[in-house]
Amino acid sequence: MNRAPDSDHSGGLGRRQFLKGVGTLAGASCLPANASAANETAPQEKNVLEHPVSLNVRINGKEISREIDARTTLLDLLRETLQLTGTKKGCDHGACGACTVHVNGKRVLSCLTLAATLEGAEVTTIEGVSQNEELHPLQEAFLRCDAYQCGYCTPGQIMSGIACIGEGHADKSAEEAREWMSGNLCRCSAYPNILAAVRQTAGAEPESDPAAHVRTFSLAEASSQEQ
Amino acid sequence: MIPFEFASPKRLQDATSAIDHKSSMALAGGTTLLDLMKLNVLTPDTVVSVASVLGNSVRLEDDTLTIEAGCTMAQLADHERVRESFPAIRQSLITAASPQIRNMATIGGNLLQRTRSTYFRHPDMPPPDESFDDSNHEKFWHRVDLSSAAVLGNSGRVVGTYPGDFANTVVAFDATLHLEGPDHQRTIHAREFYQIPQRQELQYSVDLKPGELITAISFPVTPALKNSLYFKVRERSSYAFALASVAAGLELEGQGSTATIRQAKIAFGGLGSIPWFSQAAVQALEGKPATDDNFEKAAEAALAEATPPPGNEYRVRLARRCLVRSLRRLRDVGPYSDTEIWAMQHGRTPTPA
């Protein structure tokens, strides 16, 4: 599988770096994107960390120590401070599941988790599920099953799916797997393919592209069916 | 979010003495508090993390099931004894929220979650003071979605519904809450803990004093708790709040509709401004034969005081049908299995386990 690392933009200004630049200009009232990189003389710096909390946490196996604002959610810590932008912000209110990550092995919503409560915790995000260039079997299954359209909910679906398989809810009835994946919404409604990817990875169904079983008629066949 | 100070005390006593539930609030799972803080509906100066100072054990001793308040919804639902023997407890947990939220939310926090009505989640909305009973001329209330406004315990006003599921099981089966303050402990029946909104209040209040935290909840184990279920109807199959739900338990002497009802435990969810224990339904059932006719009468009695806001009359009928269906099921077959619940929710015929 080819995966372009997020930060590797050899020529020109990458999309992510461009957006980061815009954020710095427009974000006077926001949390700093990266406290260590912020200009010492920037006027907002003093006000922002009004209630600093020191945090030590393991993220994808890496020890992280940071001074953070007490308001920082795990989602914002991942995306804004650590630039781990694989985890997505959907509703930011615990209604969509796009921000699902694992904390101490359990799937949780990072948008409703205050980072300050995670002292000593072990966090796994979508960036931490593959082994180097080797995709996680559920990531492979999402590709095989075409289990997305726009892809925005996909990291949350995969994190939830990995946990769902581990909990033993994905290898029995399809209804059970649907129920235990119901915390992740997909506005493109790729649900049948997401369900197939999760159940195939759990061993409940043979590995195959669900679309391969769809019968497509040629115009001639369709006409002959009508007669 | 408005800036706040974060405290993470090491002992329960330090936590309780720091919390007043107004400017200084307790954070356990965070699934309600952070949501409402992001909307500036709740704006505490201090957030006190209590998850690590609350216990999380589940114990069954001498016919009492005791759950410490730091236990998560997922942990309680999956507890071996709860899974085996107390269907209404398990089902009111696994049909609530999502697996991710159930991994975070604690039992103590779950009992205290606020109304989810979109109207009341908006900090700038004025409190509704008009009654909606005069339907002769159109008011604001006739033009807004009131599907999460209470139809029971609303004093004829628009007030928010208690949104949770587990608390309905808690009041149905007469559980007791254990509260602890900096220098005292006390217990209170869950049925007395919740108070319907008074005067200008938009939602329920609880008998929880500054400095007090819920530390545990205990259920008396009765035959009705073992022959029980939680039946929930919502706008979509899963991950939604109830339009109407029923926590029910029956202890029967005899078989089928000739059986006598020795004990009935009934509460409704999704309808009341508080988790709605129905004394009227219990009275209409206990000591009577378990006939369909008596079930219908109990459902009528249970909803007799309902005052649905405009457009919500259907939820009263829905609630009656939920109760009759639950009671028939408990009489004729017994509790639902997990497989049946999932199949029911996703619109398919249950496959035999």
A81 and A59 within one domain: yes
Q: Tell me how close the Cα of B234 comes to any Cα of chain A, in angstroms.
A: 14
Q: Find the CB nearest A107 among B34, B97, B103.
A: B103
For residue B202, what pLDDT is reported?
85
CA angle B127, B273, B166 (to 5 degrees): 135
For residue B24, what pLDDT is reported?
98
**Residue A11 falls within a domain, yes or no?**
no
Contact A176 B338 (CB under 8 A): yes
Q: Which residue of A has its CA nearest to B78?
A: A167
CATH no. for residue B9? 3.30.43.10
**Residue B307 falls within a domain, yes or no?**
yes
Q: What is chain B's mean pLDDT, rounded? A: 93
DSSP B83-139: HHH-HHHHHHHHTSS-HHHHHH-BHHHHHTPPP--TTTT-TTSPPP-SBS---SS--
Q: Which residue of A has its CA nearest to B9?
A: A117
CATH no. for residue A156? 1.10.150.120
Read off the pLDDT of residues A124-140 as tens digits, 9 standing for 90 and up: 999 999 998 899 999 99
A142 and A124 within one domain: no
User: The tokens 């356990």 sit on which residue?
Assistant: B28
- State ipTM: 0.95
Give the span between the Cα atoms of A87 and A98, in whole angstroms.
7
B185 and B43 within one domain: no
A110 and A150 within one domain: no
Contact A183 B99 (CB under 8 A): yes
B11 and B105 within one domain: no
Both tokens of A193, joined, read 């393919």
Both tokens of A154, joined, read 């996909």
Contact A76, A91 (CB under 8 A): no
Contact B4 A71 (CB under 8 A): yes
Provide the 3-class DSSP secondary structure of residue A203. Answer: coil
For residue B200, what pLDDT is reported?
79
A109 and A151 within one domain: no
A123 and A53 within one domain: yes
**Residue A226 falls within a domain, yes or no?**
no
B174 and B39 within one domain: no
CA angle B151, B154, B159 (to 5 degrees): 90
**Residue A203 falls within a domain, yes or no?**
yes
Interface residues of chain A, partner chain B, Cβ below 8 Å: 50-51, 53, 69-71, 73, 92-94, 97, 100, 106-109, 111-114, 116-117, 119, 160, 163-164, 167, 173, 175-176, 178-180, 182-185
Read off the pLDDT of residues B206-241 as tens digits, 9 standing for 90 and up: 999 999 999 999 999 999 999 999 999 999 999 999
A120 and A152 within one domain: no
Nearest to A154 by CA among A125, A129, A186: A186
Q: How many residues does chain A have?
A: 227
Residue B281 half-sphere exposure toward CB, CA atoms < 13 A: 28
Contacts of A222 (CB under 8 A, 6+ apart): none
Task: Among B53, B68, B95, give the residue marking a domain's end.
Answer: B53
**Residue B210 falls within a domain, yes or no?**
yes
**Residue A2 falls within a domain, yes or no?**
no
Residue type, B70: G
Residue type, B122: H
CATH no. for residue B223? 3.30.465.10
**Residue A63 falls within a domain, yes or no?**
yes
pLDDT tens digit at each of 353 positions of chain B: 999 999 999 999 999 999 999 999 999 999 999 999 999 999 999 999 999 999 999 999 999 999 999 999 999 999 999 999 999 999 999 999 999 999 999 999 999 999 887 767 777 766 666 677 665 556 666 667 788 899 999 998 888 999 999 999 999 999 999 999 999 999 999 999 999 999 878 899 999 999 999 999 999 999 999 999 999 999 999 999 999 999 999 999 999 999 999 999 999 999 999 999 999 999 999 999 999 999 999 999 999 999 998 889 999 999 999 999 999 999 999 999 999 999 888 865 545 54
- For the cut 90, the answer to whether the pLDDT of residue A36 exceeds it is no
Phi then psi for residue B231, to 5 deg, are: -115, 125
Helices and strands in chain A, H and E counts: 8, 5
A171 and A141 within one domain: yes
A200 and A158 within one domain: yes
Structural domains in chain B (count): 2
Both tokens of B287, joined, read 């000591």
Mutate to test the interface with A, among B1, B27, B234, B342 (most CBs of A within 10 A): B342
Q: Find the CB nearest A97 among B30, B98, B346.
A: B98
Q: Tell me how close the Cα of B290 comes to any Cα of chain A, in angstroms.
A: 33
**Residue B138 falls within a domain, yes or no?**
no
Contact A179 B97 (CB under 8 A): no
A157 and A111 within one domain: no
B311 and B210 within one domain: yes
**Residue B191 falls within a domain, yes or no?**
yes
- Interface size, chain A vs chain B, as Cβ–Cβ contacts under 8 Å: 103
Residue type, B40: N
Q: Tell me, what DSSP letter sits at residue B208?
A: -
Contact B30 A50 (CB under 8 A): no
Task: Among A128, A147, A173, give the residue marking a domain's end.
Answer: A128
More confident residue, B234 or A31: B234
**Residue B26 falls within a domain, yes or no?**
yes
Interface residues of chain B, partner chain A, Cβ below 8 Å: 1, 3-6, 8, 27, 29-31, 34-35, 38, 47, 49, 51, 74, 97-101, 103-104, 237-239, 338-339, 342-343, 345-346, 348, 351
**Residue B234 falls within a domain, yes or no?**
yes
**Residue B352 falls within a domain, yes or no?**
no
Q: Tell me how close the Cα of B24 comes to any Cα of chain A, in angstroms.
A: 14
Sheet holding B228-234, edge to edge: B228-234, B242-253, B260-269, B276-277
Contact B210, B22 (CB under 8 A): yes
Task: Among A60, A94, A128, give the residue marking a domain's end.
Answer: A128
A54 and A123 within one domain: yes
Contact B342 A109 (CB under 8 A): no
Q: Tell me how close the Cα of A176 comes to any Cα of chain B, in angstroms.
A: 6
For residue A212, what pLDDT is reported?
86
Helices and strands in chain B, H and E counts: 14, 14
Q: Is B188 exposed, middle or buried (0-12, 13-18, 19+ CB in 10 A)?
A: middle
- For the cut 60, the answer to whether the pLDDT of residue A11 exceeds it is no
Contact A182 B239 (CB under 8 A): yes
**Residue A119 falls within a domain, yes or no?**
yes
Q: How many residues does chain B have?
A: 353
Which H or E run includes B267?
A: strand B260-269
Task: Among A128, A146, A165, give the residue marking a domain's end.
Answer: A128
**Residue B131 falls within a domain, yes or no?**
no
For residue A224, what pLDDT is reported?
84
Q: Compute, in degrees rounded to 10, the torsion defined by CA atoms A168, A172, B95, B76.
A: -30
**Residue A80 falls within a domain, yes or no?**
yes
B219 and B290 within one domain: yes
Contact B98 A182 (CB under 8 A): yes
Contacts of A156 (CB under 8 A, 6+ apart): A87, A88, A90, A96, A97, A98, A99, A100, A184
B309 and B281 within one domain: yes
Q: Which domain holds residue A164?
A: 137-208
Q: Find the CB nearest B1 among A71, A100, A185.
A: A71
B170 and B45 within one domain: no
Give the span between the Cα atoms of B192 and B160, in whole angstroms.
19
Give the span between the Cα atoms of B170 and B220, in whole angstroms.
10
- For the cut 60, the answer to whether the pLDDT of residue A186 exceeds it is yes
B21 and B99 within one domain: no
- For the cut 50, the answer to whether the pLDDT of residue A213 exceeds it is yes
Contact B35 A93 (CB under 8 A): yes
Q: State how far Cα A125 lies from the chain centre.
A: 7
A141 and A88 within one domain: no
Residue type, A152: Y
For residue B301, what pLDDT is reported?
98
CATH no. for residue A74? 3.10.20.30
Structural domains in chain A (count): 2
**Residue A195 falls within a domain, yes or no?**
yes
For residue A223, what pLDDT is reported?
85
Measured between beta carbons, the chain B residues lying within 8 angstroms of A91 are none
B79 and B37 within one domain: no
Q: Which domain holds residue B227?
A: 58-114+161-345
B299 and B240 within one domain: yes
pLDDT tier for residue A225 given thresholds of 50, 70 and 90 = confident
Task: Among B53, B75, B94, give the residue marking a domain's end.
Answer: B53
Measured between beta carbons, the chain A residues lying within 8 angstroms of B30 are 112-114, 117
Q: Tell me, what DSSP letter sits at residue A106?
A: E
User: The tokens 């965070």 sit on which residue?
Assistant: B30
Q: Tell me, what DSSP letter sits at residue A73?
A: B
B217 and B191 within one domain: yes
For residue A211, what pLDDT is reported?
87
B220 and B82 within one domain: yes
